[in-house]
Amino acid sequence: LKAASVPATRLQKAAVAAAPWICPQGGGPFPTGTMAQDAPHASAIERVVGAVDKGAPLVEAFREQGVPLPLQRKRSQRGPVLLMYTDLEADDVVTTACLLQHMGSTPPVVVFACDTKGKDAGTIFAKKLTMATAALGEEFAKELLVVSGEGLAPPPDAYASQRCNMEVAAERTLERASAGQGLDLLIAVIAPGWGNIAKLLAALRKRPDWEAVARRTEITMYSGSFNIRGMTKEDAAALAEMTQVTGCKLQDNAHFIWTRKDVLPELRDMPSLMPDLDKMLAKENPHLLAAWRTFGTEFYAHLVDPRHKNLWAKDTALTDEERAAFDAASALYDAGDVVGYCKGILQHDAIFQKVAHYKRGSVRCFATGMLDGPLCDCLVFLTRWVEMHAPQLITFENSGAWDVDFEKGFTGIKQDGGLCPAVQPMIAADPPRKAAKTLANAVMDTLAVAISLSEQGREAAQIRVRLAEIDTEAARLLARLKVLQEEQVQDAEAVSLAELAAGFGEAM
């Protein structure tokens, strides 16, 4: 645009004139980053982002703009200490909030791994911090540690440290896990290692209390291709050594394994599983909704870039008429109106059907205002929740030795060799259709409690959580009754009723 010296508004008008289906009759250009009804919250969040981008402390930036933060979290009675190694994308923020609400018994140790010259360039770094603070509150801002990685630019000056922040993370973690009679520790790795996991192990080794805490430690991870390709061999060796020391199996959550290649279509991504997530956020924490949207508009826009080499499905080509219409819509993208561009594609069905299948969700989300985001890291939380509340929906049978293909970015389980004992959780074979709703409620209700801005909202969300837990317990016990009856166990109904009573008593 600068080279052409053409104002964005002129390009938008030209695009609409060439392709009137881009805008509804009588309507103007579509909003460029957020839905119109979110405008007041979006404006405040944009000002927060601007302050954070200039180095303002997170909580101060929110307070100066009058943006409220979530209520202080009520901690679990005897849950583990949580060490979260994250790159703070949308699914990371959801996972961190849900894990903390579900089981965190102390303030979290949060390490944000950033790449300010790569995927966190521009204002993405500030938008991630704004989104995370809007969701996790003052506790997150106080505990935050920022690192980069091998060969990457250092974090911004406002987040620089004289010490290695992986050493600080190890110190805080062990101090909290060693307090009193000692707490369990859960290490969650949901970002590319970039050499930092090896640094974490080196720091843990230096501490005399690591050996005792290690025996109470579990390690879980999300092994997406980007994360694994960003993991050094030293990182993998460090994860393997930590796992060996703990005596547990590394819990490796891999999307296509966990979901059995999306055996339920709702498991494809967050908008598929939770289409009403934006409505819940609008009610419980509208500023978080605005922060997520402003982050998503910049972060996910490249996925639908009209020049992206993978935008189109294989063996498809646009007709001359479709190409003219698409070029007109593309002018909106180049003018900064990603929403209008995607609305144009969605409303022109012949063009939309030629978009690569895995990109159609992003086009639809931009066009309709639904929140975009992968399910990915959320599987780390869902594994813990399902194991506790709906064990009939998950299996841990895929276990053995952990194997890593660094070049392709995949992990797997094999029976011989490998780096360490590991398990890849999987949803149960032939899961019932209701399973998707159970998983959606687990995330939505837990997240609502975590991010609520009011006591009334939090209390209502907590009731929904308890009702969901009772519902899943009832389903498990009824399934148990069916098994007993099929096996013709003597006094099956008496046995199952006793279990039912005990189960409901525990759930309540």
Q: What average pLDDT does this structure show over 40-59?
A: 97
CA distance linking residue 120 with residue 59, whole number of Å? 21
Per-residue confidence (pLDDT) for residue 307, from 0 to 100: 95
Structure tokens at 466: 């308890």
Per-residue confidence (pLDDT) for residue 490, from 0 to 100: 57
Per-residue confidence (pLDDT) for residue 261, from 0 to 100: 93
Could you count the other beta carbons within 10 Å of the beta carbon of residue 412?
Answer: 18
Quick check: 218 and 188 in contact, CB under 8 A? no
Pick the closest to residue 382 from 299, 270, 459, 461 (CA basis).
270
- Phi then psi for residue 239, to 5 deg, are -60, -40
Structure tokens at 124: 């993405």
Q: 7-40, pLDDT tens digit by residue?
A: 444 434 443 343 333 333 333 333 344 455 568 8
Q: According to DSSP H, which parts of 220-356 are helical?
A: 225-229, 233-246, 255-258, 270-273, 277-284, 286-299, 320-334, 338-347, 349-352
Per-residue confidence (pLDDT) for residue 503, from 0 to 100: 58
Residue found by looking up tokens 């993405």 in the block: 124
Per-residue confidence (pLDDT) for residue 11, from 0 to 100: 39
Per-residue confidence (pLDDT) for residue 26, from 0 to 100: 31
- Provide the pLDDT confidence category of residue 148 given band limits of 50, 70 and 90: very high
pLDDT at 78 over 90: no
Per-residue confidence (pLDDT) for residue 462, from 0 to 100: 77
Quick check: 295 and 131 in contact, CB under 8 A? yes
Percent of the chain with pLDDT over 90: 75
Per-residue confidence (pLDDT) for residue 30, from 0 to 100: 33
10 versus 403: the higher-pLDDT residue is 403
Per-residue confidence (pLDDT) for residue 470, from 0 to 100: 82
Per-residue confidence (pLDDT) for residue 461, from 0 to 100: 76
Percent of the chain with pLDDT over 70: 88
- Phi then psi for residue 217, to 5 deg, are -110, 140
- Tell me which DSSP letter residue 167 carries: H
Mean pLDDT of the chain: 88
E runs forming strands in 48-143 = 81-86, 109-113
Residue found by looking up tokens 């030293």 in the block: 234
407 versus 503: the higher-pLDDT residue is 407
pLDDT at 183 over 60: yes
Could you count the other beta carbons within 10 Å of the beta carbon of residue 37?
Answer: 12
Q: Is 8 exposed, middle or buried (0-12, 13-18, 19+ CB in 10 A)?
A: middle
Q: What average pLDDT does this structure show over 174-181?
A: 92
Q: 433-446, pLDDT tens digit by residue?
A: 899 999 999 999 99
In the chain, % helix, strand, coil (3-state, to 5) comes to 55, 10, 35
Q: According to DSSP H, which parts of 318-433 are helical?
A: 320-334, 338-347, 349-352, 357-368, 378-389
pLDDT at 325 over 80: yes
Q: Which CATH number fits domain 73-268+375-453: 3.30.750, 3.20.20, 3.90.245, 3.40.50?
A: 3.90.245
Pick the closest to residue 144 from 26, 268, 59 (CA basis).
59
Pick the closest to residue 370 from 379, 362, 378, 382 (CA basis).
362
Phi-psi sector, 18: left (phi>0), alpha (psi -120 to 50), beta: alpha
Per-residue confidence (pLDDT) for residue 476, from 0 to 100: 74
Quick check: 260 and 426 in contact, CB under 8 A? yes
Length of the chain: 508
Per-residue confidence (pLDDT) for residue 9, from 0 to 100: 42
Q: 269-312, pLDDT tens digit by residue?
A: 999 999 999 999 999 999 999 999 999 999 999 889 999 999 99
Per-residue confidence (pLDDT) for residue 75, from 0 to 100: 78
Q: What average pLDDT does this structure show over 399-422?
A: 95
User: Residues with Cβ < 8 Å from 413, sequence gap 6 or more?
Assistant: 252, 398, 399, 400, 401, 402, 403, 422, 423, 424
pLDDT at 506 over 60: no
CA distance linking residue 232 with residue 412, whole number of Å? 17
pLDDT at 266 over 60: yes
Minimum mean pLDDT among 67-71, 326-330, 380-384, 487-491: which range?
A: 487-491
- Provide the pLDDT confidence category of residue 500 given band limits of 50, 70 and 90: low
- Provide the pLDDT confidence category of residue 494 given band limits of 50, 70 and 90: low
Q: What average pLDDT does this structure show over 26-55?
A: 72
Per-residue confidence (pLDDT) for residue 20, from 0 to 100: 36
Per-residue confidence (pLDDT) for residue 481, from 0 to 100: 75
Q: What average pLDDT does this structure show over 36-55?
A: 90
pLDDT at 370 over 80: yes
- Provide the pLDDT confidence category of residue 502 given band limits of 50, 70 and 90: low
* Euclidean distance between the first and the last CA atom of the chain, given in angstroms as a whole number: 61
pLDDT at 458 over 80: no
Q: 188-244, pLDDT tens digit by residue?
A: 999 999 999 999 999 999 999 999 999 999 999 999 999 999 999 999 999 999 999
pLDDT at 257 over 90: yes
pLDDT at 403 over 60: yes
pLDDT at 486 over 80: no
Per-residue confidence (pLDDT) for residue 28, from 0 to 100: 32
pLDDT at 6 over 70: no
- Provide the pLDDT confidence category of residue 466 given band limits of 50, 70 and 90: confident
Per-residue confidence (pLDDT) for residue 5, from 0 to 100: 39
pLDDT at 504 over 80: no
Per-residue confidence (pLDDT) for residue 449, from 0 to 100: 94
Per-residue confidence (pLDDT) for residue 3, from 0 to 100: 35
